[in-house]
């Protein structure tokens, strides 16, 4: 499960077997399921039993492998997979390609989960587009929702930082963004 994507049918069958065991099913006899499997999989704090949905757990483990590839570019796994599948791009921009291995197919199945949770660390801000990238720390989407007014589409976060002082341009930020997004932006440590 940590390296290969299990077939959805196998995950469903295993979930069904765990549910049958939980409800005391023996052999082919049928027992009434008093609560749905989805509710049993909810965390205990939310009224569930904390069981794992195996399909979601499998994808989470594969996303962890993808995250390791992204974070450890000097690892042997990263170097081998990069040479074979994404030599001209980063892992997040990689495509499935022609005749991929089952390992690569499995990791690529979870790549969207990594992208959904991925946020930029601002640094100097040169690589981050203000209006399209996910860079705000406390926003759920990570993107700016303020309506674009004076700044152009391709503007990057570096234009919000005074490069002489290495600090945020507070007046500009408060003028452009909604108050909660301005606060969110100013709470990010800026790099000189």
Q: Where are the domains of the chain?
A: 54-116, 119-192
CA separation for the pair 110, 13 (Å, rounded): 21
pLDDT tens for 128-146 read 888 888 888 887 788 888 8
Q: What pLDDT digit, counting tens, does each position of 78-116 carry? A: 999 999 999 998 888 899 988 999 999 999 999 988 888
The CA distance from 62 to 103, in Å, is: 10
- Percent of the chain topping pLDDT 90: 39
C-beta separation of 106 from 132 below 8 A: no
Whole-angstrom distance, CA of residue 173 vs CA of residue 171: 6
> By the 8 A CB rule, do 81 and 69 touch?
yes
- Give the integer Cα–Cα distance in Å for 181 and 42: 32
Q: What is the pLDDT of residue 9?
A: 95
Percent of the chain residues past pLDDT 70, beyond the cut: 93
Which pLDDT tens digit goes with each residue over 11-58? Answer: 999 988 887 777 777 777 776 667 787 888 889 999 888 888 899 999
- The predicted pLDDT at position 151 comes to 65
DSSP track, 129-154: BTTTS---SSSSS-S--SPP-SS-TT
């Amino acid at each position: 499960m940590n390296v290969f994507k299990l077939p959805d049918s196998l995950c469903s069958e295993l979930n069904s077997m765990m549910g049958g065991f939980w409800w005391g099913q023996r052999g082919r006899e049928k027992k009434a399921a008093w609560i749905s499997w989805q509710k049993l999989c909810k965390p205990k704090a939310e009224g569930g039993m904390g069981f794992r949905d195996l399909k979601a757990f499998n994808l989470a483990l594969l996303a962890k492998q993808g995250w390791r590839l992204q974070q450890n570019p000097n690892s042997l796994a990263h170097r081998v997979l990069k040479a074979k599948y994404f030599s001209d791009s980063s892992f997040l921009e990689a495509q499935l390609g022609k005749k991929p291995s089952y390992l690569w197919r499995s990791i690529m199945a979870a790549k969207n989960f990594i992208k959904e949770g991925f946020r930029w660390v601002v640094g100097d801000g040169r690589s981050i587009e203000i209006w399209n990238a996910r860079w705000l720390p406390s926003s759920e989407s990570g993107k700016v929702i303020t309506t674009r007014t004076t700044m152009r589409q391709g503007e990057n976060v570096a234009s919000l930082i005074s490069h002489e002082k290495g600090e945020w341009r507070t007046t500009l930020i408060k003028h452009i963004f909604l108050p909660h997004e301005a606060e969110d932006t100013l709470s990010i440590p800026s790099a000189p």
